[in-house]
Amino acid sequence: MSELLTPTFLLILLFSTIRLATPLIFAALGGLFSERSGVINIALEGLMLSGAFTAAVVTYETSNPYLGFVAGMFSGALVALVFAIAVIKFEADQVVAGFAITMLMFGLPAVISSRLYDASGATNQIDKAYLLPEIVIGLPWVAILALALVPLVWYILYKTPFGLRLRAVGENPSAADSAGVNVYKLRYTAVIISGILAAAGGAYLSIGQGSFFTKGMSAGRGYIALAALILAKWKPIPVLLACLFFGFTESLAIQLQGVVKLPSGDEIPVQFIQMIPYVLTIIVLAGFIGLSRAPKALGIPYRKGN
């Protein structure tokens, strides 16, 4: 156990926490825009998968990770647009539609990759030279971008007319409409932004942390990001702290494998250690979800004139 308290281990744990929290930060900030506008975004998991798959394919085919990253975000915007049309125009149940998008993006990449690479489980591996590079301090520039987005989102949300309208639409869309705000346009914009950001987190998974796309590689991170959003009460700075917390639990689970042992001297089964982030997510949600006040219009379709 003494090796867990060394400065080297703590430094490794810190950098690992930031790297593992990066996709969560992107997805949670994306969910923040959508849910602040009044649209529940259970589709974050599917949007991450869309970004991850598209980024991996484009990067492999073009040998350009930056193009792959942008393509991943673009795919997230398109999938989010489909989701937005379903829940805003046709007033589909937002939770059901979100799960449908996730199920679609869980199966569709397997179909496409089987046609492209004769392998339904994964895309071809990308050469290490064409992955997103790290910067001098040992963190990918994508992680730095995710951290920088937090104060930017805070500024947009609380210091700009767009942010004021976004919050107004999420609280009282009828009043916002009476004040001249186009509720439908703003909600479409917010959901598409959520798709772009969540897909950026997915793209980082496949061409930053990894070197290919594999089926279901988001591994529930979209739902963890949603849990972070609820824990943070839909506020940008607390969102960062919540995502870092979940990133820390995942990092700690990785570092503890093969290190912590039972009193008998036997190693703890790795499956139990890997459960730590998900168990903590359930505990946190069970303890804090009742204390969070969601936007009043969250999940309620808006009909002009009502």
- Binned at pLDDT 50, 70 and 90, residue 273 comes out as confident
What are the residues whose beta carbons fall under 8 Å from the beta carbon of 304, sequence distance 6 or more? 177, 183, 184
> For residue range 93-149, what is the model confidence (pLDDT) as tens digits?
999 999 999 999 999 998 898 888 887 778 999 998 889 888 867 788 999 999 999
Interval 156-175 mean pLDDT? 96
Report the distance separating Cα 295 and Cα 186, nearest Å: 15
What are the residues whose beta carbons fall under 8 Å from the beta carbon of 281, sequence distance 6 or more? 223, 224, 227, 246
Residue 28's H or E segment, with its range, is helix 7-36
Query: With 80 as the cut, is the pLDDT of residue 7 above it?
Result: no
State the average pLDDT for the chain.
89
Nearest residue to 203 via CA among 82, 30, 35, 42: 30
Residue 11, pLDDT score: 82
201 vs 252, residue with greater confidence: 201
Residue 40, pLDDT score: 95
The answer to which of 76-80, 108-112, 168-172, 288-292 has the lowest mean pLDDT is 288-292
269 vs 265, residue with greater confidence: 269
> For residue range 183-200, what is the model confidence (pLDDT) as tens digits?
999 999 999 999 999 999
Residue 289, pLDDT score: 60
Query: With 60 as the cut, is the pLDDT of residue 4 above it?
Result: no
The answer to which of 7-16, 80-89, 201-210 has the lowest mean pLDDT is 7-16
The answer to which of 5-9, 213-217, 230-234 has the lowest mean pLDDT is 5-9
Residue 251, pLDDT score: 86
Q: Domains of the chain by range and CATH?
A: 2-291 (1.10.3470)
Residue 257, pLDDT score: 66
Q: How far is CA 141 from CA 18, 22, 247, in A?
A: 12, 10, 17
Residue 4, amino acid: L
Percentages helix, strand, coil for the chain (3-state, rounded to 5) are 70, 0, 25
- Binned at pLDDT 50, 70 and 90, residue 291 comes out as low
